[in-house]
Every structure is written in structure tokens, then in C-alpha cells.
A and B are shown apart, each in its own frame.
Chain A
Amino acid sequence: MHNRQSSVVYEQFDDRTQQHEASSLGMWIFLATEIMFFGGVFTGYTVYRGLFPTGFSEGSHLLNARIGALNTAVLIGSSLTMALAVHAAQTGKRKLLMAFIVSTMVLGGVFLYIKFFLEWMHEYHEGLAPGLHFTYAGPQAGHVAMFFVFYFILTGIHATHMIVGEGIMVVLLVTAWRGGYSAERYNPIEMFGLYWHFVDIVWIFLFPLLYLYGAHF
């Protein structure tokens, strides 16, 4: 690096503030498209729940709200470690940054493990997976199936986002290990942080809508 400045500010930007605002703006516009992506399925959920409230609360009652609450706590924890990773990057602490990226990856992994092995596998074996293995009977069976369609689509696309996030974190971790980030250059960490927190916000809405709707029966 014969010219240190060039490694910090790319040539199309005047200064670091402009560069930082440009990447933040780009990331937020991407997140706005993500809001509309999830928003469409949320709207579908709202409409069908409004049409079939009994079946939806019956379906929601079949989910384990305790596991849902535990997973919410795990994901909020991973958001904390991600925020601390950004803080470590801002203050130029390389080892701390790596430690917090690893913590975020582990907590995200715990969430996905619970989601896949303790929930999806369980629901599949219980016969609550529409189209694959659905044996739930009763007058509301069709509407309960509709609830589980939304459950698997919503938690499925949410988990897909988390798996993508885990992949990006591998890249960030390797780059951090090689010393690619400093107190002057940490935009990728911060932008990924925005993505990870967004995924957390999606779950914050999924938890009450899917797990808690039928809890009081």
C-alpha cells in the first residue's frame, strides 16, 4: 500500500463521510426491497388469518411458543454480538471483531439448529407439513394446513436469509483475519450488520404472529 489514502476512500468519493453515506444508502434501499419481499407474504398471512381466524389460531396453538421465545432470545443475542462486532471494527480491534463475528455465527447456528431439528423435523413427523406429510384432522384441517403453508414459507425464507448471512460472515471473518479491516475501513462489517439486524426484525414480527396467536387457548 504505497498510497494509504486510496485503500480507505475509493476514487469516486470525495471523502469517507460521502463514501459511508453512499454505502449505507445503497444497503438501506436493498433492505427496503427486502421489506416489500417479506411484506407480501406478511400481507398474505394477514388476509388468510382474517378469513380463517379459527383455523389459524388452532394451527398456531400446535407450535411450541417456548421454543419460539427461546429462539427469539438467541437471535436478539446474535444481534447484540453483531452490533458489538461493528463497534470493535469502528475502534480497530481486530481480534475482538473476529471474536464477535464468530459469536454471531455460533448464535445464528444455534437458531438454525433449533429451527431445523427441534421444529421443522418435529412438525414433519407430527404430520403438520402440507404437501409432504399432513395428517391433521378435524373440521378446521384445511385452514390449519393453510396456516402451516404460511408458517413454512415465512420461517423458510427467514432461515434462508440467515444461511446466506452465515456464508457472508465466513468471508468477513477471513478478511478480518487477514487484516482487511481497520478503524478507517470497516464499511462491509457495518453493512452486513444492517442485514443481520434486519433479519432479526423480521423474526421479531414472526414470533408473535406465528407462535403467540393461538397461545391462550
Chain B
Amino acid sequence: MSEHIAPRKMYFYVFFGLLILTLVTWQVAYIDLGKWNTVVMLIIAAGKATLVGTFFMHLRWSASMIRLVVFAAVFWLSILITLTIGDFFSRGNAEHQPMRTGTVISQSFSPAAKR
């Protein structure tokens, strides 16, 4: 055998762990924590994704080459999200300037804007 075979029990433990985390994230959502709701949700989601990746997708026993691909993918995604957020959120809050935003959007979709 060249590949690792994990004990079957492990999959059930991971499954119950995922269910408990789902229950926690669902119930925490009804408590108003302000901006921290999103932070808690994303941490729990990242934890669940790590559980699935590590045990269900066998990353724990994978070659370092494969882990490198996973790291590169997540790293690239973080570049995409971080730089985009950095751009948009340094422009001020558009919700408080509805007219301006509205005009920009309607102009870019109206035939008159196409020259």
C-alpha cells in the first residue's frame, strides 16, 4: 500500500465536529455582536473548511507538493480579496452617498454612456 488509510472512526468524529460547529455558527448568528458576528462566522467557517481539508481530503497525509498547491490557491485568493477590499473601503462609504453611486451606476448602464 502506498497511500495512508485512515481509521473509519475518524471520519465520524470529524462529521460530528462539523455538525457541532454548524450548530454553533447558526445559533451565534441570532446574537447581535455587531461587526464581530462576521468575524466569528468566518473563523468557524475557516475551521470547518480546515477540518474537511485535513481529514476528508487527506491533506494530513498528502505530499508537500500538494500542500503547496493548496497554500498557493488560498494565498492567491487572499491577495484578490485583500487588495480589492483595500481599494473599495478606502474610498469612503457609498451608502451615505446614494445619489452619486446611483448616478454612476445608471450612467454606465445607459445607452447614452456608450460613445
Q: Give A residues with C-beta under 8 Å from B.
A: 15-17, 20-21, 24-25, 28-29, 31-32, 35-36, 39-40, 42-43, 46-47, 50-54, 65, 69, 72-73, 76-77, 79-80, 82-84, 87, 90-91, 142, 183, 190, 193-194, 197-198, 200-201, 204-205, 207-209, 211-213, 215-216
B37–A76 touching, CB < 8 Å: no
Selected from A91, A142, A212, the residue in CB contact (under 8 A) with B26 is A212
Cβ distance B63 to chain A, nearest Cβ, rounded Å:
5
Query: In residues 55-75 of chain B, which contact A (Cβ within 8 Å)?
Result: 55-58, 62-63, 65-66, 69-70, 72-74
The closest CB in chain B to the CB of A38 belongs to B77
A36–B80 touching, CB < 8 Å: yes
A36–B45 touching, CB < 8 Å: no
Chain A residue numbers with a CB within 8 Å of B8 are 84, 87
B19–A76 touching, CB < 8 Å: yes
User: Can you list 10 A-B pairs, Cβ within 8 angstroms, ordered by A?
Assistant: A20-B3, A35-B76, A51-B93, A142-B102, A190-B58, A194-B57, A201-B49, A205-B49, A208-B41, A212-B26
Known: A35-B74, A73-B22, A84-B11. Contact between A204 and B49, CB under 8 A?
Answer: yes
How would you classify the secondary structure of chain B's contact residues: helix, strand, loop or mixed? helix
Selected from A29, A31, A77, A194, the residue in CB contact (under 8 A) with B15 is A77
- The docked-state distance in angstroms from the alpha carbon of A16 to that of B30 is 50
A52–B94 touching, CB < 8 Å: yes
- The docked-state distance in angstroms from the alpha carbon of A51 to that of B63 is 42
B12–A80 touching, CB < 8 Å: yes
Query: In residues 1-52 of chain B, which contact A (Cβ within 8 Å)?
Result: 1-3, 5-6, 8, 11-12, 14-15, 18-19, 22-23, 25-26, 29-33, 37-38, 41-42, 44-45, 48-49, 52
A216–B77 touching, CB < 8 Å: no
Known: A36-B73, A76-B18, A77-B15. Contact between A53 and B29, CB under 8 A?
Answer: no
Q: Give B residues with C-beta under 8 Å from A.
A: 1-3, 5-6, 8, 11-12, 14-15, 18-19, 22-23, 25-26, 29-33, 37-38, 41-42, 44-45, 48-49, 52-53, 55-58, 62-63, 65-66, 69-70, 72-74, 76-77, 80-81, 84-85, 88-89, 93-95, 101-102
Selected from A35, A91, A200, the residue in CB contact (under 8 A) with B77 is A35
B44–A208 touching, CB < 8 Å: yes
- The docked-state distance in angstroms from the alpha carbon of A197 to that of B53 is 8
B2–A15 touching, CB < 8 Å: yes
Known: A51-B95, A194-B57, A197-B57. Contact between A24 and B63, CB under 8 A?
Answer: yes
Chain B residue numbers with a CB within 8 Å of A87 are 5-6, 8, 11
- The docked-state distance in angstroms from the alpha carbon of A114 to that of B10 is 29
Chain B residue numbers with a CB within 8 Å of A79 are 15, 18, 52, 56
- The docked-state distance in angstroms from the alpha carbon of A50 to that of B94 is 9
Chain B residue numbers with a CB within 8 Å of A142 are 102
Chain A residue numbers with a CB within 8 Å of B81 are 39, 42-43, 46
